[in-house]
Amino acid sequence: MRKSSFLPQGISLLLILLCVSGYGTRANSGGLPQQVVRAHTVFIVNETGFNELNYTLFLELSKWGRFDIAESREKADLILRLDTGSRVRMVPEGQLPSAQDISASAEAAVPSGYTRVALLDPKTQQVLWSGLHKTEGGKVKSGHLLDELREAFRDYERGKR
């Protein structure tokens, strides 16, 4: 008897395994790397140009109580960076941008009227987690600046149980 299948058997099995393994990873991690989950201190870098967002961020962090604010990058477990995607990097005349510069520009895409909240590894500057929040200049529109990050931690805790 001949099997009727849309995909060859090997590919079907591979797809099933990928879906199941991906589901398990997502449910356990909640989208947060272990480095973020284990972190206790953050150093704040505000690249938006709006000092009001610093004040908002300090208030939200102190109310949440999840992270202590480090006094320097060296003493921080994570860098908490706010940016609007409009960073400019100087490239010396006659040199081409490096692969790191190009990847940084791709990461820099933030829709107008939003601020990116990102957690970075303090040693490598690699983005470990990021989310967007609607802002208008230095004002947070609807909700709180860290709502998406708090939700990621709630998802992580739910997946742990």
Every domain of the chain and the residues it spans? 32-87+95-160
* pLDDT tens, residue order, the chain (161 aa): 555 545 455 444 433 333 333 333 333 334 899 999 999 999 999 999 999 999 999 999 999 999 999 999 999 999 999 999 875 556 677 777 666 555 554 556 889 999 999 999 999 999 999 999 999 999 999 899 999 999 999 999 998 77
Q: For residue 13, with 0-12 CB atoms within 10 Å meaning exposed, 13-18 middle and 19 or more buried, which class applies?
A: exposed
Residue with tokens 């909700």: 143
Q: pTM to 2 decimals?
A: 0.70
Instruction: Centre a 10 Å sphere on the Cβ of residue 105 and count the other Cβ atoms it contains.
Output: 13
Distance of alpha carbon 12 from alpha carbon 84, whole angstroms: 42
pLDDT at 32: 94
Print the SS3 string covering 58-71. Answer: HHHHHHHCCCEECC
